[in-house]
């Protein structure tokens, strides 16, 4: 079942990914390790998790399988140390304080931590993320954070105007020639996201089924 679902998602991506730019992240929050293993068995490498303790258990249990782990959930500042030490990518950096802590807490013996800024692309007051007009002010500080590599941006758009929001994200990325990553698109809108320049799509439900 999971294997068939994953193959189906791979086909959907292939159908719209003209430039072969997209990497699929399997979002496995709340799902058991046996579910992840089914995806791994047919070649899935990238996994996204939202909840730290659950993620750490999975990372440990699957540590010999060469996986790439993405933290995509809300970040409390008292959790940054474990995130910095156990993940390859963090998509949900939404304030400078978090970036500074991740930089301090990333061990020197690890490769740099890949970071995306979560953008509140629709300027919604109740949502987390950096407002588009604040991006420049935050980005200048990354030159002082040697253990991080800022790679680009992530968003969760309002579904009412996802197409326009994805296009806005692509325009923002274009302003920063040294950045190369747009994390956008979930189960219901992955095609739209890819058509508008996504390089990571984050797919949970359509691979692992509904969450309880």
Ligand X SMILES: *Cc1c(COP(=O)(O)O)cnc(C)c1O
Would you tell me which residues interact with ligand X (CB under 6 A)? 27, 29, 50, 72, 156, 186-187, 202-206
* Cβ at position 99, least distance to ligand X in Å: 18
Q: Where are the alpha helices (DSSP H) in 125-204?
A: 135-139, 162-174, 190-195
Instruction: Considering the complex, state which of residue 63 and residue 124 has its C-beta at the smaller distance from ligand X.
Output: 124
Nearer to ligand X, 48 or 132 (CB): 48
Residue nearer to ligand X on the CB measure, 148 or 201: 201
Q: Do residues 71 and 88 touch, judged by C-beta distance below 8 A?
A: no
Question: If you write DSSP's letter for every residue of 39-99 in order, what string do you get?
Answer: HHHTT--EEEES-HHHHHHHHHHTGGG--EEEE-S---GGGHHHHHHH-SEEEEE-SHHHH
What sign does the CA torsion over 25, 172, 156, 192 have?
Answer: negative
CB of 30 to ligand X, least distance (A): 9
Nearer to ligand X, 27 or 169 (CB): 27
Provide the minimum distance between the beta carbon of 85 and ligand X in the complex, in angstroms, as a whole number.
21
CB of 107 to ligand X, least distance (A): 26
């Amino acid at each position: 079942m999971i294997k068939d679902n994953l193959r189906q998602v791979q086909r959907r991506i292939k159908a719209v990914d003209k430039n072969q730019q997209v990497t699929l992240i399997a979002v496995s929050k709340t799902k058991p390790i046996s579910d992840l293993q089914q995806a791994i068995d047919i070649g899935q490498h990238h996994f996204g998790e939202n909840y730290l303790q659950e993620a750490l258990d999975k990372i440990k249990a699957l540590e010999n399988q060469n996986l790439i782990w993405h933290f995509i959930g809300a970040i409390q500042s008292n959790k940054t140390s474990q995130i910095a030490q156990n993940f390859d990518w963090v998509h949900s950096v939404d304030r400078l304080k978090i970036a500074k802590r991740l930089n301090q807490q990333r061990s020197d013996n690890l490769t740099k931590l890949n970071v995306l800024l979560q953008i509140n692309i629709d300027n919604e007051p109740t949502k987390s993320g950096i407002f588009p007009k604040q991006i420049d002010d935050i980005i200048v500080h990354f030159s002082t954070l040697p253990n991080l590599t800022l790679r680009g941006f992530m968003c969760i758009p309002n579904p009412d105007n996802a197409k326009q929001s994805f296009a806005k994200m692509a325009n923002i990325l274009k302003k920063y020639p040294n950045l190369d990553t747009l994390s956008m698109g979930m189960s219901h809108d992955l095609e739209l996201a890819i058509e508008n320049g996504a390089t990571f799509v984050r797919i949970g439900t359509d691979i692992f089924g509904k969450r309880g």
